[in-house]
């Protein structure tokens, strides 16, 4: 049985209470720290003229797009490696069967 508990996270001055597995607590806290870091980077990058039109949700959206783009890229790379591993296992199986 997995132990869940409620944690409180603050993202861009909003408070969120989430039920998470105890072993995953640090992952969530690290994710929030990364969100804060990335939104600050975007806020600083767009701090010139016209930045008064950008809302916190805009910075959060940019952060989300960047994070998910990186996730999609990693998933694609993982799929490539998984397919390569399956191919190598198949070759090894064929070799072992032929050598009997």
Summarised one tens digit per residue, pLDDT across range 37-72 is 999 999 999 988 777 889 999 999 999 999 999 999
Cα–Cα distance measured from residue 45 to residue 12, given in angstroms and rounded to the nearest whole number: 17
- Domain count within the chain: 1
- The range of the structural domain enclosing residue 22 comes to 4-98
- Say yes or no to pLDDT of 27 above 90: yes
* Phi, psi dihedral angles at 5 (to 5 degrees): -155, 170
- Say yes or no to pLDDT of 100 above 80: no
Return the closest-CA partner of residue 8 out of 78, 19, 52. 19
Task: Flag whether the pTM goes above 0.95.
Answer: no
User: pLDDT > 90: what percent of the chain?
Assistant: 85
């Amino acid at each position: 049985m997995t132990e869940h508990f409620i944690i409180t996270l603050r993202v861009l001055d909003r408070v969120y209470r989430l039920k998470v597995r105890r072993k995953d607590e640090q992952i969530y806290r690290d994710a929030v720290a990364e969100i804060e870091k990335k939104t600050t980077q975007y806020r600083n990058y767009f701090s010139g003229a016209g930045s008064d039109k950008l809302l916190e949700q805009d910075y959060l959206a940019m952060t989300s797009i960047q994070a998910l783009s990186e996730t999609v890229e990693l998933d694609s790379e993982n799929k490539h490696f998984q397919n390569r591993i399956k191919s190598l296992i198949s070759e090894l199986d064929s070799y072992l069967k032929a050598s009997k």
